[in-house]
Structure 1
């Protein structure tokens, strides 16, 4: 996975989503189409990770990785049509299964995939999964509420 060509690096991703600085958790766009996106993240083992707690980076942080992939997907879709991306927020995460307790002890890259299941101009539903070396880390569904007409 680390040898795959990137379509966007972290600077390119940061230019499209509202997450800035160390809160931009994705560092590579690997693939995307109208229904899905696949990204890479490698900073989960950093001691100064912005979501790290005293016990380390909990696996629930995978939800934020997935949410950022969803935001990037929306921005790329909007960019492909020439329209501005509608800002939104994560409204809920459901059916989330964490397959381990922590992320910081995983030595390689995380593979972050989000697939759009349904949506309209007001809300979106994605299924997501985060994996490490082909092994599931976390998966679930997430609902995003959009604010069409507002500037990102």
Structure 2
């Protein structure tokens, strides 16, 4: 009985203190696009998804951005590719087709930054994404038109 109480106490404490934020306690990963380090603040969520601020990543990919403050949704467009992501929605949209997201995009109220899934955005644009567990870095390879 004592062991069960101890187990329950540890479980509850870890739930209360260990998962209080959207982001895990890991260091912030480095993001590399075609071997160039991107000066961007990235986080790894408790689900293991790398989240980045939407504006710098979409701009790096040369996309135009429209933010709808009423619906808390971003629409990013480039050469016929349209990506739409909405705060706290598991539904992303690529070229009008609904796609299930493993991690919801999140608008952080403290800094008003909209975080999106780096892999989802990159792969939607045809990029290859690799995760380096040793360094906690994401490497993305994409060809940009000259």
Q: What is the TM-score with the length of structure 2 in the denominator? A: 0.28
Larger radius of gyration: 2
Q: What is the TM-score with the length of structure 1 in the denominator? A: 0.27
